[in-house]
Structure formats: structure tokens, C-alpha cells
Chains A and B, each alone.
Chain A
């Protein structure tokens, strides 16, 4: 089997408001035999914010991030959808425009760096499927999530746009359901599976757009009687979990839908204690899930 060693790009959220994502990723990766070498010198990817003010700066900053992984000679593993798409967008532009790449490298040279284009940007979800493999994951499951109805929430930037992501069919993706099934859970069909959480318009359209989407998404999972939602993106998580009370209040509904990070769900199936995975750090209580697991 190929060595599962990656340059680990944490992103800001796992180091900020989603510490439970960082902790659960490290625990689960270790169990699955993935070696994560953390890129401690990496910066924020710009998150789409810098990109809409200064495209060249955002591109150069990410060329540096990619160059850090190239120094290690390892593919870069992300745990955030937006980091994934922003890093892949930068890579796409650098790899397809030699003049631009030359200009970026002239800047990087001043900082003692060079972008060579030798590594790929991948996501934890994809590596669980392609690196570890679902058969191996299935073998390692000690606490199948058989009593759980689980609503996947992909998050936009792991399926769209196909010219930057291209991992699977954006009309009919399957990766999340495949992992849920491998963990012994039952995926539920719901209307918001491929929808947007609203995170990226929070500061400009909190009431007009963001919280309305948050309410709509979590209600869709509730309608199908899901025990919880699961997402591969910490931004979706913050929006759907931490902001769910705001959405309930503004829209005037009662939802109470727990949302798990993907590695937390895998961790539960691997028999890791809920507390170690940080399930107590969620805003929407996960007590029902923990009770069911203990029963």
C-alpha cells in the first residue's frame, strides 16, 4: 500500500472556532494510518475575501502555501472546503498561465521560495476514500452507526465548480454517502444535501440570505428525521451548528439539528470516545447521539 503521508493544511477555523475539528482529524488520521505533517508556516487561503479585493495578492499568498507543501514533497491535505477550492483555484491559474506563474515566482524568489507545481491539493474526505480505502475503513469500524439516520451536507466548495474540483459529478455526488455507509450509518435523502449553508454572505446579508439558508438546510434534514447532519467543511459547521440558534430566532422556528464534522462521525465508528472527538463543543447539543451510542 502506498504511504499515506500528507502536508497538512489546517486552515484558520480548525485553529480558531472549530478546535474539535483539529482534534478529531488528528485522532482519526492516526487510527486510519494517515501521517499528517502540519504546515505550521502556512497562512490563511484568503477564503474568497482577499480574492475579491486583490486577486494577485491572494494568488501569491497561496503560491507560497503550495510551495511549503512542495518543500516537503507531499500532497497537501485540507480539512476545509473553502481552503480546498481557493488553493486549487490558485494552482489552476498558476498551472495554466505561464506568464502569471513567472510573475508570481519573481515575487516568491524575494522571499526565498519557488512554486513548481509538483504537488496536488486534496481533501480529507477524498483521502479516506482513495488513500485509506472504504474496505479498510469498514474493517476498522468497531462501533457501526447502525441506529443512526445521517444527513450528509457536502458544502459547495467540495463539489463546485467542476473545473476546479472535478472529484465527482456535482449533480449526483456520492462520496459522503459512501463514507456514511462504510461507518455503518444510514444516509438520508434530503433537499439540502447539495445546498449552500450561507456562510460566505454572513457579514453582508445575514438576515437577507445567510440565516434563511441555514434554517432551510437544517430543517430539510429534520424533515427526514435525521439524527444528525455531517459535513466535511468547518465553515458549513459553524454556520449550521453555531449559528443555528440565530437562524431559529430570526426565522421563528425550532430546529435543534446536531451537526458533526466528518472526522467526528468516522471517529465514533472507530470507537473513539465522543468527548475526545469534541462532541461536547457543539452549540446544538449532541447528547442524544452520545446516549444512543452508549445504549
Chain B
């Protein structure tokens, strides 16, 4: 391919009623990034195009845009690779999603900063610094809990593609919750409960739908989704009774007592008798479609070998205080499915097994 189309979102709220898309045709150059392509448009075809950038090396987080629907850093993405990935000759560049557009590809970062203030994204020391005049200390293990979370460059890629934010702007969002985790999990920090209370206001922390989009989009291995889960674990450990905590207890007990979740009794266990009864219209609808197993209202089926599960619960309880689950490195990692590679090898050797 010698040329490709850059289809760019254009909008100037001071002049335009509606956003439009303009198509710029550019030569395909080896190593050209989307940011370089935007510069080429600005220099050679349309000086009115506005976009944000600074370091050009995926460090500053200024140039997050959406490319063919997904948030990416413009400076980190190569045109040739994208054309191949999407099997196309046209790449669509839009501003990050879920955030108000100021002009063209520039979005309102102040909105993100205002949200962030709610979790006090700064260090609040637990105690005065060491008397000998040295700095606050933490062990390598303590630092490992916040190592990846500290790498956030505030690019807002995660906010752009967050499913919960796409339907409710009141959600704090992955960037903010991940930032709250970074400080709440810091061994030197003294405001853990204060931060947890900020994210648990209206159970905001539990508005996250577990879609894992934020971790998939993050260009810096911050693992926002995993940090949200770690925050929820911290909240459970601190004794907060949230809907998520009650939900987890229902699952824990059902696994222990029968193996599988009892979906018929879940609404009652989750919301109490009155709450569960409010779901009656839904339940009746499900019943008439043959989706309700009446036996489950009386306990229902228990899996074979349940005693193994009961032993595991006992032993886990004894052991878990000594367990430190380390946070894995995930950047650029594609989980190797040995079954598939086995299959590939065999097909290279003639296909028969």
C-alpha cells in the first residue's frame, strides 16, 4: 500500500453545530506514527487541525486518541501496523471517548483532574519522617504492591474506553480508582479509610462492570482493573458491608455448601426477603419460560466430592495469612495457550495427531 486515508474527527464548538470527519490522504511511510501523520496533515494540508502532544515517546500521556474505536497513544502507534491489524486503508482518529471535546482531538482533562481530587491523589503520611533525617522507607515487597499502579501517566485511555463511564459520568472511572489504590495501598500512607470512604460513596467503586477494558487499553501496565479489584479486597478486609461484599459471601457459602451457585435463592440472600420479593415479576417470567429449577428453592443439587471443597476452605483459612500473592508483570504479554501451539506444531508436521 502506497497511500492511506486518515479520517479525522473535526469539531470546533465555537463554530460548528455538529462534529464532522475529514479525510486526508497520506503516503504510507515505514515507522510513521499516528502522531507523525497528524503533524504531516497540519503542516502540509490543514493547519487548523488541533491535537495535544509533548514527549513523542509514550511517557507524558498527552496524546491519547481513539484509533478505529480504541484508545491509544498517537505517538506509540505505527501506521503500517494499524493498517495491517485492521485490514484497511483508512484509519479513523477521534478524541478520547467519554470526555467532553474542547476542539478536534483535544478533550477536557480538567474534568478528569476534578474527579481525581475526590480521592486526594497525594501522599498523606501515617507518621512523621524518621528522626535521623532520612526519608520514609518501605520494603521491596511493600513497594511491589504499588509499583505498577505508580506508573500511571494520566493519559486517560482507560477513561476513554470505560463501559461504566459510557453510560454514567458520575462513575469515578478506572484512572481515579486506580490512583486511589496507589495511595491506599502505600505502606507509608495514613489515609486508607478516608480514601476507601471516598470511593465507596454510593458504592461508586462497585459500579465497575469488570469489563477489563481499562487494563486492555492502558499503555503503561498500570492494571487499572486489577487495582479496582485490589481496592475492593481492601474494603472487604476493612469490614465494609457493600453489595459486592454481600455478593461475594453468597458465592463463598454456596461453593462451600453445594459447589455451584444457587441462582434461585441469590436475590433473597443478596437483598433480603423483601428485596428478593421485589424481583417477583422477573422470577415469574423466568418460571413460565422454564428457567426456574424449583428444587433449588429447597437447596437443590450438591456436587459429588464436596468434602474436598470443605477441606480446602478449612486449610485456606489456616494458611492465607502467610500468603503474599505477587502482582504479575503483564505488559505486552499474551498468555501462551499450550494447547493451541501444540496444535500449530502438529499441523506443521502434517496435521494428523
Asked if B311 CB lies within 8 Å of chain A CBs, one says yes
A122 touches B316 (CB 8 A): no
**10 A–B contacts, CB within 8 A, in A order:** A43-B309, A52-B236, A53-B232, A57-B252, A156-B211, A160-B213, A160-B216, A161-B225, A208-B202, A209-B167
Closest to A16 in B: B263
A167 touches B210 (CB 8 A): no
Asked if A151 CB lies within 8 Å of chain B CBs, one says no
B316 touches A60 (CB 8 A): yes
What is the distance, in angstroms, from A31's C-beta to the closest C-beta of chain B? 22
- Chain B residues contacting A245 (CB-CB under 8 Å) are 285
A43 touches B209 (CB 8 A): no
Using A48-B229, A196-B211, A203-B244 as known contacts, list a sample of 12 further A-B pairs with CB atoms less than 8 Å apart, ordered by residue number in A.
Answer: A40-B303, A44-B255, A46-B255, A49-B248, A50-B248, A50-B252, A52-B229, A52-B244, A64-B309, A170-B216, A200-B210, A208-B207
Asked if B233 CB lies within 8 Å of chain A CBs, one says yes
Which of B30-38, B112-120, B191-199, B287-295 lies at the interface with chain A?
A: B287-295
Query: Which of A17, A50, A108 is B255 in contact with, Cβ under 8 Å?
Result: A50
B86 touches A172 (CB 8 A): yes
- Chain B residues contacting A132 (CB-CB under 8 Å) are none
- Chain A residues contacting B15 (CB-CB under 8 Å) are none
What is the distance, in angstroms, from A285's C-beta to the closest C-beta of chain B? 10
- Contact bitstring A41-65, B, C-beta under 8 A = 1, else 0: 1111011111111111101110010
Q: How far is it, in angstroms, between the C-alpha of A205 and the C-alpha of B248 when the chains are bound?
A: 15
B249 touches A53 (CB 8 A): yes
Which of B21-29, B129-137, B145-153, B322-330 lies at the interface with chain A?
A: B322-330
Asked if B308 CB lies within 8 Å of chain A CBs, one says yes
A163 touches B236 (CB 8 A): no
- Chain B residues contacting A107 (CB-CB under 8 Å) are 312, 315-316, 319
Interface size of B by CB at 8 A reads 92
Closest to A243 in B: B282
A204 touches B207 (CB 8 A): yes
Choose among A48, A53, A59, A162 the residue with the greatest number of B CB atoms under 10 Å from its CB.
A53
B335 touches A92 (CB 8 A): yes
Closest to A191 in B: B69
B334 touches A163 (CB 8 A): yes
Q: How far is it, in angstroms, between the C-alpha of A196 and the C-alpha of B167 when the chains are bound?
A: 11
Asked if B245 CB lies within 8 Å of chain A CBs, one says yes
Q: How far is it, in angstroms, between the C-alpha of A56 and the C-alpha of B317 when the chains are bound?
A: 9
B210 touches A242 (CB 8 A): no
B255 touches A162 (CB 8 A): no
B206 touches A204 (CB 8 A): yes
Asked if B121 CB lies within 8 Å of chain A CBs, one says no
Secondary structure at chain B's binding surface: helix, strand, loop or mixed?
helix
- Chain B residues contacting A196 (CB-CB under 8 Å) are 163, 209, 211, 213
Asked if B286 CB lies within 8 Å of chain A CBs, one says yes
Query: Which of A44, A64, A97, A120 is B312 in contact with, Cβ under 8 Å?
Result: A64
Closest to A39 in B: B303
Closest to B164 in A: A209
A166 touches B308 (CB 8 A): no
- Chain A residues contacting B216 (CB-CB under 8 Å) are 160-162, 170
Interface residues on A, range: 35 or more
- Chain A residues contacting B308 (CB-CB under 8 Å) are 41, 64, 111-113
Q: How far is it, in angstroms, between the C-alpha of A100 and the C-alpha of B319 when the chains are bound?
A: 12
Query: Which of B167, B209, B309, B335 is A165 in contact with, Cβ under 8 Å?
Result: B335
Q: A44-B260, A120-B338, A242-B282 are in contact. Are A52 and B243 (CB under 8 A)?
A: no
User: Could you tell me which residues of chain B, from 329 to 351, have a CB within 8 Å of some CB in chain A?
Assistant: 330, 333-340, 343, 346
- Chain B residues contacting A138 (CB-CB under 8 Å) are none
Asked if B208 CB lies within 8 Å of chain A CBs, one says yes
- Chain B residues contacting A167 (CB-CB under 8 Å) are 337, 340
Q: How far is it, in angstroms, between the C-alpha of A260 and the C-alpha of B330 when the chains are bound?
A: 34
Q: A40-B303, A54-B252, A281-B289 are in contact. Are A200 and B209 (CB under 8 A)?
A: yes
Q: How far is it, in angstroms, between the C-alpha of A2 and the C-alpha of B349 when the chains are bound?
A: 13
Q: A130-B343, A156-B212 are in contact. Are A203 and B163 (CB under 8 A)?
A: no
A96 touches B337 (CB 8 A): no
B335 touches A19 (CB 8 A): no
- Chain B residues contacting A48 (CB-CB under 8 Å) are 210, 229
What is the distance, in angstroms, from A113's C-beta to the closest C-beta of chain B? 7
User: Could you tell me which residues of chain B, from 72 to 111, have a CB within 8 Å of some CB in chain A?
Assistant: 85-87
A57 touches B290 (CB 8 A): no
Query: Which of A88, A160, A171, A200 is B215 in contact with, Cβ under 8 Å?
Result: A160
Q: How far is it, in angstroms, between the C-alpha of A200 and the C-alpha of B206 when the chains are bound?
A: 9
What is the distance, in angstroms, from A40's C-beta to the closest C-beta of chain B? 6
Closest to B250 in A: A49
Query: Which of B209, B255, B261 is A198 in contact with, Cβ under 8 Å?
Result: B209
Q: How far is it, in angstroms, between the C-alpha of A97 and the C-alpha of B326 when the chains are bound?
A: 8
Q: How far is it, in angstroms, between the C-alpha of A2 and the C-alpha of B351 when the chains are bound?
A: 9
- Chain A residues contacting B309 (CB-CB under 8 Å) are 43, 61, 64, 111
Asked if B44 CB lies within 8 Å of chain A CBs, one says no
Q: A16-B264, A53-B249, A93-B325 are in contact. Are A205 and B207 (CB under 8 A)?
A: yes
Asked if A222 CB lies within 8 Å of chain B CBs, one says no
Q: How far is it, in angstroms, between the C-alpha of A127 and the C-alpha of B229 when the chains are bound?
A: 30
Query: Which of B212, B286, B319, B330 is A103 in contact with, Cβ under 8 Å?
Result: B319
- Chain B residues contacting A43 (CB-CB under 8 Å) are 255, 259-260, 303, 309
B244 touches A246 (CB 8 A): no
Q: How far is it, in angstroms, between the C-alpha of A138 and the C-alpha of B257 when the chains are bound?
A: 44
- Chain B residues contacting A16 (CB-CB under 8 Å) are 260-264, 293, 296
- Chain A residues contacting B244 (CB-CB under 8 Å) are 49, 52, 203-204
Q: A57-B252, A113-B308, A171-B70 are in contact. Are A281 and B291 (CB under 8 A)?
A: yes
- Contact bitstring A156-178, B, C-beta under 8 A = 1, else 0: 11001111111101111000000
Q: How far is it, in angstroms, between the C-alpha of A12 and the C-alpha of B263 when the chains are bound?
A: 8
